[in-house]
Structure 1
C-alpha cells in the first residue's frame, strides 16, 4: 500500500498500562519477597504455609504473574505451588497507542516474561488448562519464550493458548521499513517454533508486513486457531489477503492496509470485526461463511473512499447482527432497496447504526427497516465525537471528505403503505428534542405495527464532554418528556411504551 493511501491509525480507547503490565490484586505481594533458604525452618510451623494446596493455590492465583512466580522461592513448601496453576496469563508491555516503547523497555519486558514463563512452565507436574494470554515483544527473547511454551504444549494438555505479539514501535509511528523488519522477525519466530504456533488457539499480531506466502503459511501452521486479530498488517502495495481456515471462529481486523480481504472459506466463522481501511475500493468480500452471525464494520471516511453497497460487500453472507459505525464522519453506506438486500438482510435480527453525525438526516436509515423483514431491534446512535478534527485546513491535509456528511444517502419510502411486522424495539442514543428526531420516531411507529418499546437515551458522555459542559436538548424533566410523548399520538398506540432511561456511567 503506497504511503499516500496508508491512513493514520485511528485513536481508540485502550486500557492504561499497569506498571507491571498486568491488572491484578497485589494484596499478597509481600509474600513474594525473597527469603533465604536457610531460614526455611523458621516458616515450617507458620499457619500460612500449613494450609492445604488448594488454599495456597487460591492465594497465588490472586497475584500478578511476577509475584506468583517469586512465591516459589519462599520455601520448599511453596516451591511447587506456582507450577500447579491451572491457567496463566502473562502480559508485559503497554498496548496504549500513544505510549512510547523504548528499546530498554522492550528488553526488560521480554526478560520479565521469559523469567516468569520458565518459572511457571518448566518442570510442571500438573496439566495446564489454558495459557489465557502471553503478551510480549518481537525480539531475541521471543524465540526462547516460544520454545518454553512449545515444551509445555507438547507434554501437557493445553486447551487454550494465546499469543499477543507486540512490536517496539506503536502503530502510528511505524514506517513501511519498520513493518518489513517486524515481518521478518515474526517469520523467523514462526520458523523457529512451528510446534508452538501449531498449538495456539488465539493469535494477535500488529505492524507486520509479510511476503505473499507468509500469511497462508502461518494459517496452515496454526491449525487450532479459533481467534485471530490483525492490526495494521500488510503484504505490500495493492495486496490481496485471502483467508481460508477450517477452525477460525472470530476474526478482528483493524487499520487494514490490504487492498481487499477475501473471506474465501471460513466454515466456522461466527464473528467479524473490520475497522478502518485504506482501500479506495470495496475492502472486503465474503465467500463460504455459513455460520457467520455478527458483523461489525467501522470506518472514518476519507476523500478517496467509496460508498459501499451492502448487497455487494456482504455477498452470500446471511447474518443476524449488523453493527455499522460511521465515526461521526461521512456516511459510507449507500441505501439500497428491498430487492437488492433480500439475500443479505433476510435473517437480520439486530442492526446498530452507530456514531451518525448530528449533521445528518435520519430518513435514509429507513432502508434497513424496509430491507430486513425479520428485524426485531433497531439501534441508532447520533453524536459528534469531541475529538473530531474541525479545522478545515487540517481536515484537508488529513484527506477527510469535504462533502456533506449525509451526501449520497437520499432515500424515499418506496410505498406509503409499507408495514413492518417484526420490529419490537427502537433505541435512539443521542436523542434530542428536535424535529428530525420526532419525525423519525413517528415514521418508525407508523411502519412498525408491532412495535412495543421505544428507548430514547442521552448521548454517551466522555470526560471531554463533561469538562466542556456541552449542552444539548435531551428532555430530562418529566414535563419535557411528557411533551415529547404528546408529539407521538400515543392514543393510536395503546400498547407502545416510550422510555427515557437514566444514563449510567
Structure 2
C-alpha cells in the first residue's frame, strides 16, 4: 500500500490549538456526554466554559459506587471467597484492604455529589441565565455508611427542585456489615405534594411514610430490613390513589402477619418476589389485573380480585398445574401457594 506523502499527512492533522470537539454542535456534544458515566461527564466542565454549560442539559444522572471501586477491590473479594477452599492468605490484611477500598470509594462519591450540589447552588430555585435545571431520572447506588448522609440532601434537591420523575435509590451492604439507609423523619423530600415523581425504587432502606406523592404510579421496595413495621407495609398499598404497580422483592417480617385490605386501591399489577413473612394475606385489591408470586407464600381469595386476568406462579413442588386449574374453577376458594424457583 502506497504511503501518504508528507503534504497529505500534514493536511490530515488538526491545526495547533484547534479544538474539533468544541466545534461540534451542542446536540452532538450531549450525545457524547450521555455515553459517559455521570462523574466523567461532570468532570468535562473543567475543559472550558462551553463544556461547563453542557452538563446542565443532562436529564439523567447516575452516581454508582460500583463504578468507583478499583479492580483490586473485586480481586480481594474473589480471593476471600476462594480462601474457603484451602488457599492460605492473611485474612487480617485482606479484610483491611477491602474496608479501605470501600471507604475510599464512598468518600470519592460523596465528594462528587457535594461538588455537584455546591456548583448548582443550594437554594429553592436553582436557575441561572441558562434556565432552571431539570432532571428526569436519578439513580443512586452507595454503601450504607454514616458518611452517606449527603444522599438525603441530594434526593431532596432532585425531588423538590429539579422535578425528578424516575428515582432509584439503592443502598449496598458493605462486605462485612448489612445495614439499611435512613431518610429524615419527614421522608424523601420537603414537599411531596408538589413532586413530579412517577416511578420510585428504594432498596435497603428503613421504610418511612410515602403519602403525598400523588403522581406516583410505580413503586419497587427491595431488601427492606426485618425491623420494618407491619403498618408501614399496609400503608404502601393505599399511599397514592394513582399507584398502579407495586413490586415487593426480598422483603421480610420475622413473625408478623401482613394483612392487606385495600378496597380503594388502584393497584393493577402486583409482584411478590422472594419475600418472607409470618403470613401474607390479601383480602381486597379490586382493580388488580396481574399478579406474580415468586418464591413466596400468599393467602388470598380469587373473588377479591374481580378484574384479575393474569396469575403467574413459580413451580410448586410439582403440583402447580393442578392447583392453578382448581383455583380457576372454584374461584372463591382460598389459595395457599408456596412457590419455589425451578
Q: TM-score if structure 1 supplies the norm length? A: 0.46
**How far is the alpha carbon of 1:298 from its aligned partner?**
1.1
- Deviation string 1:72-105 (CA, Å, 9 cap, x unpaired) is 11122211111221222333339x9x99995445
**How far is the alpha carbon of 1:149 from its aligned partner?**
4.2
Counterpart of 2:31 in structure 1 is 58
**How far is the alpha carbon of 1:265 from its aligned partner?**
5.4
**How far is the alpha carbon of 1:52 from its aligned partner?**
2.0
Counterpart of 1:147 in structure 2 is 153
- In terms of mean alpha carbon deviation, does 313-322 or 61-70 score higher? 313-322
Counterpart of 1:202 in structure 2 is 199
- Deviation string 1:203-242 (CA, Å, 9 cap, x unpaired) is 333445x5xxxx4x42225554333222232554994631
**How far is the alpha carbon of 1:268 from its aligned partner?**
3.4
Counterpart of 1:498 in structure 2 is none
Contact 2:246 2:271 (8 Å CA) reproduced: yes
**How far is the alpha carbon of 1:66 from its aligned partner?**
1.9
**How far is the alpha carbon of 1:297 from its aligned partner?**
0.7
Separation in 2 of the partners of 1:251 and 1:320?
17
Matched, 1:164 2:133: no
Separation in 1 of the partners of 2:190 and 2:114?
18
Between structures 1 and 2, the one with greater helix share: 2
Separation in 1 of the partners of 2:291 and 2:261?
13
Instruction: Within 5 Å, give how 1:95-494 maps onto structure 2.
Output: 103-118=99-114, 122-123=119-120, 125-126=130-131, 127-156=133-162, 158-169=163-174, 182=180, 185-187=181-183, 189-191=184-186, 194-195=189-190, 199=195, 200-208=197-205, 215=207, 217-220=208-211, 222-234=213-225, 236=227, 239=230, 241-242=233-234, 243-245=237-239, 246-258=241-253, 259-262=257-260, 264=262, 267-279=265-277, 281=279, 283-290=280-287, 292-299=288-295, 312=301, 315-326=304-315, 331=320, 334=323, 336=326, 340-341=330-331, 385=342
3-state SS of 2:53 partner? coil
Contact 1:263 1:286 (8 Å CA) reproduced: yes
Contact 1:93 1:106 (8 Å CA) reproduced: no
**How far is the alpha carbon of 1:273 from its aligned partner?**
0.9
Separation in 2 of the partners of 1:142 and 1:279?
29
Aligned CA distance change for structure 1 residues 197 and 337 (closer, same or farther; 3 Å): closer
Length, aligned pairs only: 278
1:84 to 57, 77, 102: 57
Aligned CA distance change for structure 1 residues 280 and 140 (closer, same or farther; 3 Å): closer
Unaligned runs of 5+ in 1: 1-41, 345-353, 357-384, 386-505
Contact 1:298 1:327 (8 Å CA) reproduced: no
Instruction: Within 5 Å, give how 1:19-38 maps onto structure 2.
Output: none
Aligned CA distance change for structure 1 residues 88 and 277 (closer, same or farther; 3 Å): closer
Q: RMSD of the TM alignment (CA)?
A: 4.1
Separation in 1 of the partners of 2:315 and 2:222?
19
Counterpart of 1:68 in structure 2 is 41
3-state SS of 2:24 partner? coil
Separation in 2 of the partners of 1:196 and 1:109?
31
**How far is the alpha carbon of 1:46 from its aligned partner?**
1.6
- Deviation string 1:343-397 (CA, Å, 9 cap, x unpaired) is 99xxxxxxxxx988xxxxxxxxxxxxxxxxxxxxxxxxxxxx5xxxxxxxxxxxx
Aligned CA distance change for structure 1 residues 119 and 62 (closer, same or farther; 3 Å): farther
Structure possessing the higher radius of gyration over alpha carbons: 1
Contact 1:203 1:225 (8 Å CA) reproduced: yes
**How far is the alpha carbon of 1:136 from its aligned partner?**
2.5
Q: TM-score if structure 2 supplies the norm length? A: 0.64
3-state SS of 1:59 partner? helix
